[in-house]
Structure 1
Amino acid sequence: MHMKKLATLFVFVALAATPALAQGAGGIDAGASELQTYIDPVGNLILIIGAIVGLIGGVRVYIKWNAGDQDTQKAVMGWMGSCVFLMVVGVVVKAFFGI
């Protein structure tokens, strides 16, 4: 009984995998072109998130500066570092996929 279930499962898996293998290079090209359609919006989204983080960081640093905190420079460096990182990631993602 157990072998019969295992053999049936093997047949179903083999039949399901056959169309995927038959696509070959056409399937790979279709997948690559579909992936490229997602890269541009994702890169733009990362750039937008970086801009929002920069604005929020600027407001927080301004509040710290007006309050007279001593670690204002550390806050500026942290926020600017995160903004630069997000901007670079957005550009690198687009460049990596050739868009």
Structure 2
Amino acid sequence: MKVCVVNCFEKSKRAMLCASITAVLAVSSLAVYAQDGIKGIEEANGKVRGYFGVGCDLMYAVGGVLGLIGAVRVYQKWSNGAPETGSIAAAWFGSCVFLVIVATVLKSFFGIQ
């Protein structure tokens, strides 16, 4: 019985030593990769800022297309004599204005020309 306890203790000591060595190696390898993380974040920041102007222009274009679609739909409803044409026109106009304002605010907030 005494031999089994000693063997189990020796095995657990070896397992703890192996686990400790593995943990130290894992932490040291993470420190090496952490330095590249900052460079990666800066690169991603540059790429996102590069596409930001194009995205805002796309929002302006979508706002224009929605404005045209809304104008046609409101005209159709007005021609057919549908009630509450004014509220429908206000909803379409409001959505177009919202897209333009969002694009403008985002450009000024992030300081992108």
Q: Give TM class, smaller chain.
A: 0.7 to 0.9
Q: Pick the aligned partner of 1:76 from 89, 92, 100.
A: 89
How far did residue 22 of structure 1 move? 1.1
TM-score by length of structure 1 reads 0.75
Q: Which residue in 2 is equivalent to 1:64?
A: 77
Aligned with 1:69: secondary structure?
A: coil
- Tell me, which stretches of 5 or more residues in structure 2 are unaligned? 1-17
User: Given that residues 46 and 87 in structure 1 are in contact (C-alpha distance below 8 angstroms), is that contact kept between their aligned partners in structure 2?
Assistant: yes
CA 1:65–1:29: 2 relative to 1, 3 Å? same
1:27-50, CA deviations, whole angstroms, 9 ceiling, x for partnerless residues?
A: 444332222101101111111111
CA 1:71–1:27: 2 relative to 1, 3 Å? same
Moved more, 89-98 or 42-51: 89-98
How far, CA to CA, are the matches of 1:17 and 1:56 in structure 2? 55
Q: Which residue in 1 is equivalent to 2:54?
A: 41
Give the number of equivalent residue pairs. 93
Over aligned residues, Cα RMSD in angstroms?
2.8
- Tell me, which stretches of 5 or more residues in structure 1 are unaligned? none
Higher CA-based Rg: 2
